[in-house]
Amino acid sequence: MAHLDILSKLATRTDSKIVLLIMDGVGGIHTAECPRTELELARIPNLNRLAKEGCCGRSMPVSYAITPGSGPGHLSLFGYDPLEPAYDIGRGVLEALGIDFKLEKSDIAARGNFCDVNAEGVITNRRAGRLPTDECIKLCKELQDSLPEMDGVKVFIMPVKEYRFALVLRGAGLSPAIADTDPQKEGFTPKDIDATEDTPAARRTVAILKKITALYYKILKPRKTANSILLRGFSSHPGMPTFQELYKLTPAAIATYPLYRGVATLAGMDILKTGSEIADEFKTLEENWAKYDFFFMHIKKTDSYGEDGNSAGRIKVIEETDGQIPRLLALKPDVIAVAGDHSTPPPMKAHSWHPVPFLLRGKFCDADDVETFTEGACNHGRLGMFPAWAIMEMLLACAGKLQKYGA
């Protein structure tokens, strides 16, 4: 928190513009089976140009060996130390805010997955085969209509995207101190609803959730796919200082997936409507260029393909993003940064703790000798390995938005 207090005192408004381009999960690793990463295999002349003109390093999303979720990974990118208790924000809040649900301070929110289980109740597919969004919408409506209220508590179940949904409880005497039911692995049964603290509010919330999930399990059980649910990230609205308060910025977010819009909403960014394709996001940037001085742009599929172990798909997304960089350069931003919120190496098919390649390009960034945007090259950049929460102060400094500290 101390570094944010200092930044908020030093930050000043200027006309300079910053673009933070995030390719979700972009970091890769080298293995015997996969000796080259997707950044090394991809044709990325424009990203390489940015690396050559700027300075590079590797960002550490949380800590040396802590694997981050998407929420902590993005909070860190935005300058909030995810290890501080004030910024330990559950996935449920981010999902709910990301679909523009008007979350009240006392609401309890959880992120949900529709999943597949076999006759013994063992999870065979955590994402229900990446259930189509249209089917998710139908299922959520069926579950919502079946149970709008339980024991005086309002129940909201809302589609997010593909297999994801948000569950919100609204009422008095509730607690977010609820353990995840998602074991995060296939081959296990969903965990029982349980509290993480022994308080009347937590016990009441557990009792209500058990009744809700029992009904949902009964309704879904006859289905061949999406026949169960997993819940995680129980949380309530934290309240936190915004980009306007901390950095004196007028920020906007361009993201196609709700969670990233949710974390951007918490940070005080305007959420811009955009299409589902990468080119659509760059078009949205062009259309809104005059209105804001900070843009967070999020590319999702680098992460999705990493989780699926699909190296070829990842390469295609990286190359597609690279192809749009000239449109960004044509706008003449004062500072460009390219990073990821974490690594998602295809050999692991999951988020990992490995540091993320990072480049910073601006008039005063002091270029180094790195000539390609790859993990190995960034290892030799002058920025070295650094905490991701330091990225925002680098962007502000290079954009001339920080005054001198001290006499």
Side-chain half-sphere exposure of 108, counting CA atoms within 13 A: 23
What's the CA gap between 283 and 328, in Å, rounded? 10
Is residue 289 packed enough to be buried (19+ CB in 10 Å), middle (13-18) or exposed (0-12)? middle
Do 245 and 361 fall into the same domain? yes
Amino acid at 27: G
Q: Which of 43, 38, 20, 49 is nearest to 326 (CA)?
A: 49
Do 213 and 308 fall into the same domain? no
> What is residue 1's predicted lDDT score, i.e. its pLDDT?
54
Do 127 and 207 fall into the same domain? yes
> What is residue 240's predicted lDDT score, i.e. its pLDDT?
87
Q: Between 91-98 and 70-77, two packed helices, what is the crossing angle to 10 degrees?
A: 80
Residue 398 CA to its chain's centroid (Å): 25
Kindly report the CATH number assigned to the domain that includes residue 317. Answer: 3.40.720.10
Tokens 């408004």 sit at which residue? 13
> What is residue 356's predicted lDDT score, i.e. its pLDDT?
97
Residue 407 belongs to a domain: no
Residue 160 belongs to a domain: yes
Most distant CA atoms of the chain, gap in Å: 71
Kindly report the CATH number assigned to the domain that includes residue 152. Answer: 3.30.70
Categorise residue 102: left if φ over 0, alpha if ψ from -120 to 50, beta otherwise.
beta
Do 177 and 260 fall into the same domain? no
Do 281 and 368 fall into the same domain? yes
> What is residue 265's predicted lDDT score, i.e. its pLDDT?
92
Do 215 and 68 fall into the same domain? no
The structural domain count of the chain equals 2
Do 143 and 62 fall into the same domain? no
Task: State which of 235, 253, 272 marks the end of a domain.
Answer: 235
Our CA dihedral for 186, 192, 197, 202, rounded to 10 degrees, sits at 130
Do 64 and 132 fall into the same domain? no
Residue 368 belongs to a domain: yes
**For residue 117, what are the β-bridge partners?**
123
The model carries a pTM of 0.84
**Structure-block tokens of residue 278:** 């990468």
> What is residue 88's predicted lDDT score, i.e. its pLDDT?
82
Per-residue tens of pLDDT for the chain, all 407 residues: 578 999 999 999 999 999 999 999 999 999 998 999 999 999 999 999 999 999 999 999 999 999 999 989 999 999 999 998 888 888 899 899 989 898 998 999 999 999 999 999 999 999 999 999 999 999 999 999 999 999 999 999 999 989 999 999 999 999 999 999 999 999 999 999 999 999 999 999 999 999 999 999 999 999 999 999 999 999 998 888 999 999 999 999 999 998 899 899 999 999 999 999 999 999 999 999 999 999 999 999 999 999 999 999 999 999 999 999 999 999 999 999 999 999 999 999 999 999 999 999 999 999 999 999 999 999 999 999 999 999 999 999 999 999 999 87
Do 266 and 385 fall into the same domain? yes
Residues 387/60, Cβ–Cβ less than 8 Å: yes
- Helix (H, G, I), strand (E, B), or coil: what is residue 153? strand
Do 129 and 84 fall into the same domain? no
What's the CA gap between 92 and 90, in Å, rounded? 5
Amino acid at 327: R
Do 394 and 257 fall into the same domain? yes
* Parent domain of 199: 94-235
